[in-house]
């Protein structure tokens, strides 16, 4: 009995320590999206130039949907040239890049697009409906859609050349089929 | 806790009274309290520890507008909540749903209270009942000392 009691208090600390250890290993900012693997929500919005853009028209292609905002410094500023470069490099192979500008002013967005010389289509999600449909919780976030219109990868933070190429190459290879 | 209960109550009342929305009902006016109740259970995604109801951020106000729109379209509060959970996962809910592993969060404090009360009761019982009948062993006093005590006590009176 005495021996048991001597160990009781240190033993009680074990589950607490295990929980703490688990808690410290998990980042509260790292939230797995339930949307990965599911069909991408459709949207039809106007581009900054006023042209209509419907995601459904790009069905069958690998689509990169990038959520950004002009006030999102520095991450969106870092990835803008990356997206433009890879869009130019991959558009011949049927890859589409769509920018979705959220929580932003039109003028600021137009200036951002002009400053970086972005040539891929950029739409504005003024009401936030598309951002919520995609479960966006910050900018930038990028969704890689396969040729069947499913979300395959969600990338949080600035997209790098490496992330873009590895992901898109994989999806293109899949689309080509064995 | 109570907010959840209220929301569930409202949901039940609404479901019971309106049933399935018809075309004529789809544009019904939305109860702002209901919008607030739903928003209060959702985590503001761009904030730290704020609900969608309490956050002044643009994202939260857009989310409140989406809640309002969906209710106006005839969705039940449970439908609206499910829409957000489908997109953000259970993470979006400020109080974890009471099932599976999450039950631990709800039951552990209760278990701790029960164990604590039991331990306190056991200790109190032992302090009050445990030693009854056991007298402290008589202290050995030699004859000279007891004689001296007796004399001193007599001398005083």
- CATH number of the structural domain spanning residue B53: 1.10.8.640
In a domain, B153, yes or no: no
User: Residues B14, B59: one domain?
Assistant: yes
Concatenated DSSP letters of A112-165: HHHHHT--S-EEEETTSHHHHHTT--SSSEEEEE-TTSBEEEEEES---HHHHH
**pLDDT band at residue A11 under the 50/70/90 scheme:** confident
Tell me: pLDDT of A22 over 80. yes
Chain A contact set for B58 (CB, 8 A) = 103, 128
User: The domain A33-176 belongs to what CATH superfamily?
Assistant: Glutaredoxin (3.40.30.10)
Say if residue B120 is in the same domain as residue B65: no
Confidence of residue A136 (pLDDT cuts 50, 70, 90): very high
- Domain identity same for B91 and B124: no
Q: Is the pLDDT of residue B14 over 60?
A: no
Please report whether residue B90 resides in a domain.
Answer: yes
Confidence category of residue B66, pLDDT binned at 50, 70, 90: very high
Q: What is the pLDDT of residue A2?
A: 66
Distances (CA, A) of B70 to A44, A129, B27, B45, B92: 19, 11, 10, 19, 17
CA gap B142, A173 in Å, rounded: 103
For residue B128, is it within any domain?
yes
Residue B23 has pLDDT above 50, yes or no: no
Give contacts of A 88-147 with B, CB under 8 A.
103, 127-129, 131-138
> Which segment of A33-47, A56-70, B59-73, B97-111 scores lowest on mean pLDDT?
B97-111
Instruction: Kindly determine whether residue B59 and residue A135, on different chains, have CB atoms separated by under 8 Å.
Output: no
> Residue A16 above 60 pLDDT?
yes
Average pLDDT, chain A: 91
Instruction: Enumerate the β-bridge partners of residue A54.
Output: A44
∠ CA B10-B12-B15 to the nearest 5 degrees?
105
Among B72, B95, B118, the domain boundary falls at: B95
Enclosing domain of residue B75 = 2-95
ipTM of the complex: 0.81
Q: How far is CA A83 from the centre of its chain?
A: 12
Domain tally for chain B?
2
**Rounded-to-integer distance, Cα B17 and Cα B12, Å:** 8
Same-domain pairing of B11 and B76: yes
Q: Do B61 and B11 share a structural domain?
A: yes
CA-wise closest residue to A99 among A148, A133, A141? A141
Q: Is the separation of the CB atoms in A102 and A134 below 8 Å? A: no
Task: Compare B31 and B19 and report the one with higher pLDDT.
Answer: B31
- Higher-confidence residue: B136 or A40? A40
Quick one: pLDDT band at residue B24, thresholds 50, 70, 90? Answer: very low
Look at residue B129 and tell me if it is in a domain: yes
Predicted local confidence at residue B16, as pLDDT: 45
Residue A90 has pLDDT above 60, yes or no: yes
CB A140 within 8 A of CB A68: yes
Residues B7 and B61 occupy one common structural domain: yes
pLDDT at B121 over 60: yes
DSSP B51: B
On whether both B116 and B71 belong to a single domain, the answer is no
Q: B21 with B49, same domain?
A: yes
Residue in chain B lying closest to A102 (CA): B59
The overall pTM is greater than 0.80: no
Contact call for B88 and A31, based on CB within 8 A: yes
DSSP A45: E
Residues B37 and B61 in one domain: yes
pLDDT at B142: 85
Residue B81 inside a domain? The answer is yes
DSSP classification of residue B129: I
Dihedral over alpha carbons A10, A13, A17, A18 (to 10 degrees): 100
| H/E element, A63 | strand A62-68
Q: Please tell me whether residues B85 and B8 are part of one structural domain.
A: yes
Average pLDDT score, chain B: 81
Please count the helices (runs of H) and the strands (runs of E) in chain B.
6, 0
pLDDT given at position B49: 83
For residues B123 and B86, membership in a common domain is answered with no
Q: Taking a C-beta distance cutoff of 8 angstroms, is the pair A76, A68 a contact?
A: yes
In a domain? residue B150: no
Residues B44 and B70 in one domain: yes
Indicate if the alpha-carbon torsion angle B58, B63, B67, B69 is positive or negative: positive
pLDDT at A172 over 60: yes
pLDDT exceeds 60 at position B34:
yes
Preferred mutation among B44, B68, B73, B87 to probe A, highest tally of A CBs within 10 A: B87
Give the range among A30-34, A66-70, A87-91, A103-107 with minimum mean pLDDT. A30-34
**A127: closest CA of chain B, how far (Å):** 6
Tokens found for residue B54? 């309490």
Say if B139 falls within a structural domain.
no
């Amino acid at each position: 009995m005495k021996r048991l009691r001597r160990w009781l208090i240190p033993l009680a600390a074990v589950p607490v320590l295990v929980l703490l250890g688990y808690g410290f290993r998990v980042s509260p900012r790292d939230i797995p999206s339930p949307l990965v693997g599911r069909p991408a929500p459709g949207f039809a919005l106007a581009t900054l130039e006023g042209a209509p853009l419907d995601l459904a028209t790009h069905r069958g292609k690998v689509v990169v949907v990038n959520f950004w905002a002009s006030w999102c410094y520095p991450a969106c500023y870092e990835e803008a040239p990356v997206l433009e470069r890879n869009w130019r490099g991959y558009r011949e192979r049927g890859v589409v890049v769509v920018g979705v500008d959220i929580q932003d002013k039109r003028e600021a967005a137009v200036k951002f697009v002009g400053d970086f010389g972005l040539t891929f289509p950029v739409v504005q999600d003024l009401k936030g409906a598309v951002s919520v449909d995609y479960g966006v919780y910050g900018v930038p976030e990028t969704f890689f859609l396969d040729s069947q219109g499913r979300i395959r990868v969600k990338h949080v933070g600035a997209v790098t050349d490496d992330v873009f190429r590895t992901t898109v190459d994989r999806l293109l290879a899949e689309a080509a089929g064995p | 806790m109570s907010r959840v209960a209220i929301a569930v109550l409202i949901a039940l009342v609404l479901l019971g009274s309106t049933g399935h929305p018809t075309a004529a009902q789809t544009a019904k006016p939305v109860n702002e309290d209901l919008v607030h109740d739903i928003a209060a259970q959702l985590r503001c995604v761009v904030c730290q520890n704020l609900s969608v109801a309490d956050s002044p951020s643009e994202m939260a106000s857009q989310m409140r507008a989406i809640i309002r729109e969906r209710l106006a379209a005839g969705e039940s509060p449970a439908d609206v909540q499910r829409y957000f959970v489908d997109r953000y996962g259970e993470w979006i809910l400020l109080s974890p749903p009471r099932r599976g592993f999450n039950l631990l969060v709800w039951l552990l404090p209760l278990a701790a209270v029960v164990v604590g009360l039991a331990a306190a009761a056991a200790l109190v019982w032992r302090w009050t009942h445990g030693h009854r009948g056991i007298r402290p062993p008589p202290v050995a006093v030699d004859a000279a000392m007891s004689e001296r005590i007796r004399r001193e006590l007599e001398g005083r009176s």
